[in-house]
Amino acid sequence: MTMRRPWIVIACAAFIVTLAMGVRQAFGLFLPQMSVSLGIGREGFGLAMALSNLVFGLAQPFIGALADRHGAGRVVFFGTLIYVAGLIGASWIGSAIGLHFTFGFLTGVGLAATTFVVVLGAVGRVVPPERRGLAFGIVTAGGSLGQFLVVPAAQMLLSDLGYRLALIALSGLVAVCAVLAIGVAGKPDSAAEEGPRQSLKDALSEAAGHPSYWLLNAGFFVCGFHIAFIATHFPAYLDDKGLGLGIGASALALVGLFNIFGSYLFGLSGDVWRKNYVLSGLYAARGVVIAVFLLLPLTPFTALAFAGAMGFLWLGTVPLTSGLVGQMFGVRYLSTLYGIVFLSHQVGSFFGAWAAGYFFDRSGTYDWAWGASILLAVFAAIVHLPIRDTAVARPQPA
Amino acid sequence: MKKALPWLAPLALVPVALIGLEAWRAQATWIWLSGFVAACF
């Protein structure tokens, strides 16, 4: 590929995920106005959201493969068009089916084409292996910053403009990604990789036969479970315990704030220490933080301290996990292989959000979900230890 | 000192973080009430 200045690629990648992830985090804000205006109820809106998350995860390996084949620039450009079409479409549709297609399907595809998996592939190709942790950390922190800043801005837009105009305004924000796509453009060239050329099929077979790849998938499933459970249910948990709405909202803000710093610093840590050990420590720390939180008496202080600590441990897994995939298998098919790992994350997210609610409805308590979160943290801390993080040996052509 | 710079770099974001926190403070309860939590994974 044409070599670009790494910092241009990193900056454009970080801005792309800032905008794409930031707008995505604001989707839920539209629930009250849209469900009433369209007369579809919260279930109808929730289905559109669930579809978006499902499509985001399922499409990711395929869109990652497209990025590996045609370059991240083209994928981000066309993905932006689809994302914008989804948002504008959602602003004028008048039925549940229309909402499911626009807000559900189109935004899901658009997100898969404009977020971490696609842009990290482009960044990985222009940054030397020993600096990838830093570079991936910066891009991930960009996504975290977007989540933190765009949500309150979107709420202001909603309050002032109503949902139709707010959606169009947000689509304008997302449209900027089409310009930023130039910064991550360039067709991947297998000749730029060290070692022999490899087909996509060979790369998939190689990864599928590598036990450490499956351990990474298992670990990232746990990440998705934790994040979805806490983001979805934690404010309700605090409210159930009598701490009130304000503490729950502030807790989410602190998660968003500390996530920015954690994403970056854990990425940077991956350049200093072995990434699988840092991941193991991160998951162990999640388990300890949850256990300590549950053992201490619940007060506003412990709730906010828990939120800050979990926020710090939130998306630090992204630069480390994607970095490990690149370290083990090279960056030629990074987006495809990391896309599959990301799908595992989304499956974990599904269970974290849904199963916690399912068992709460039957038992009236989140004890099961908290217990599962601690056990899964221990499991993830253990499975990352034996990961072989060295580059896979490939036979040289005669 | 040069080695410590990358670790200290996030401090540059503190002003942005403060602006963000203020925006959240103004909007947080509305954000929570309006179903944000259902969408943030």
Nearest CA in chain A to B12: A261
- Residue A104 pLDDT > 50, yes or no? yes
Residues A138-154 pLDDT 10s = 999 988 888 888 888 88
Contact A65, A336 (CB under 8 A): yes
d(C-alpha B2, C-alpha A325), whole Å: 29
Residue to substitute from A29, A145, A163, A349, interface B, most B β-carbons within 10 A: A29
d(C-alpha A322, C-alpha A264), whole Å: 14
- Residue B2 pLDDT > 80, yes or no? no
A196: alpha, beta or left, given left = phi > 0 and alpha = psi -120 to 50?
beta
B41: contact with A, CB 8 A cutoff: yes
3-class DSSP string for chain A: CCCCCHHHHHHHHHHHHHHHHHHHHCHHHHHHHHHHHHCCHHHHHHHHHHHHHHHHHHHHHHHHHHHHHHCHHHHHHHHHHHHHHHHHHHHHCCCHHHHHHHHHHHHHHHHHHHCHHHHHHHHHHHCCHHHHHHHHHHHHHHHHHHHHHHHHHHHHHHHHHCHHHHHHHHHHHHHHHHHHHHHHCCCCCHHHCCCCCCCHHHHHHHHHCCHHHHHHHHHHHHHHHHHHHHHHHHHHHHHHCCCCHHHHHHHHHHHHHHHHHHHHHHHHHHHHCCHHHHHHHHHHHHHHHHHHHHHCCCCHHHHHHHHHHHHHCCCCHHHHHHHHHHHHHCCCCHHHHHHHHHHHHHHHHHHHHHHHHHHHHHHCCCHHHHHHHHHHHHHHHHHCCCCCCCCCCCCCCC
Considering only residues A234 and A311, tell me which one the structure prediction assigns the higher pLDDT: A311
Rounded to two decimals, the ipTM of the complex is 0.76
Query: Using CA of residue A43, residue A24, residue A29, residue B14, what is the dihedral sign?
Result: positive
Contact B35 A28 (CB under 8 A): yes
Would you tell me which residues 8-37 of chain B have a C-beta closer than 8 angstroms to some C-beta of chain A? 9-10, 13, 16-17, 19-21, 23-37
Give all domains of chain A, ordered by start, each with its CATH number.
6-187 (1.20.1250.20), 200-383 (1.20.1250.20)
Residues of A in contact with B39 (CB under 8 A): 24-29, 31, 49
Instruction: Compute the count of residue pairs across chains A and B with CB atoms less than 8 Å apart.
Output: 121
Residue whose tokens read 């007369």:
A39
Categorize the per-residue pLDDT at B30 as very low, low, confident or very high, splitting at 50, 70 and 90. low
pLDDT at A208: 95
Separation of CA A16 from chain center = 13
CA distance A300 to chain B (A): 15
Categorize the per-residue pLDDT at B4 as very low, low, confident or very high, splitting at 50, 70 and 90. confident
Residues of A in contact with B35 (CB under 8 A): 28-29, 31-32, 42
Contact B13 A42 (CB under 8 A): no
Least CB–CB distance from B29: residue in A246, A265, A268:
A246
Residues of B in contact with A231 (CB under 8 A): 37, 40-41
Residue whose tokens read 């932006």:
A80
Residues of A in contact with B40 (CB under 8 A): 25, 28, 147, 231-232, 252
- Residue B31 pLDDT > 70, yes or no? no
